[in-house]
Amino acid sequence: MKILVATGNPGKVKEYQEFFSELPVEFVSLNDVGITEECEETGDTLKENSLQKAQFYGDLSGLPAVADDAGLFVDVLEGRPGVYSSRYANSDEERMEKLLQELEKIPYNERGADFRLVTTLYYPDTKEHVSFEGKIRGIIAEEKKQLAQKGFGYDPIFYVPEEEKTFAEMMGEEKNAISHRGIAFRKLKKYLEK
């Protein structure tokens, strides 16, 4: 079975290829199938956005397509930046600075947040889809903490109390074992194994 990874990000394609490497599934990129069109992201939820991308590229290629969408949902900001996490400011550094500033006066016990990810697999022949969600609870740290430039996005300020570390202080497998992405991907894996 061939599945198109509906993203222009080569890192994400590699992630799918590695995570599902034991399965008899070949994950191909937009580049592999010669697609250069860009898909809009206009949904209000992670599920809508992931379905929008999977549907757009699935219909365009005729292949089953998988797409994911993730975001950081901060309690006291009523879920912001949420689906807009990647558009909250211009760079990872600026996004973290902006969030830390918004939470400047908020005490530790009110800094709770969720990282969530939804991955959707869409079949262009039947127009059916399945979606899987992963979620992890954490705290927005008061300052950045990371090991040797580890992590991406909001990793250096996402603190997991049970581990006593931020995402950016964890090794890859350590983060995968508990992260929103790891949880959603393991659900998709179970589904694909059937």
Contacts with ligand IMP by CB under 6 A lie at 69-72, 85-86, 115, 152-155, 167, 179, 181
Least separation, in Å, of the C-beta of 165 and ligand IMP?
Answer: 13
Residue of 20, 34, 116 lying closest to 3 (CA atoms) = 20
- Helix (H) or strand (E) holding 24, with range, is none
Which residue of the chain is nearest ligand IMP when measured via CB? 153
Would you say 70 or 126 has its CB closer to ligand IMP? 70
Least separation, in Å, of the C-beta of 71 and ligand IMP?
Answer: 5
**Is 69 assigned a catalytic role?**
yes
Would you say 129 or 175 has its CB closer to ligand IMP? 175
Residue 154 structure tokens:
């909001």
Count of CB atoms situated within 10 Å of the CB of 26: 12
Spatial contact of 33 and 61, defined as CB atoms under 8 Å apart: yes
Check 59, 69, 114, 125 and give the catalytic one.
69
SS3 183: helix
CA 52 – CA 85 distance, rounded (Å): 17
Q: Verify cis geometry, omega within 30 degrees of 0, for the bond prior to 24.
A: no
Would you say 126 or 183 has its CB closer to ligand IMP? 183
Would you say 72 or 140 has its CB closer to ligand IMP? 72
Least separation, in Å, of the C-beta of 154 and ligand IMP?
Answer: 4
Active site residues: 69
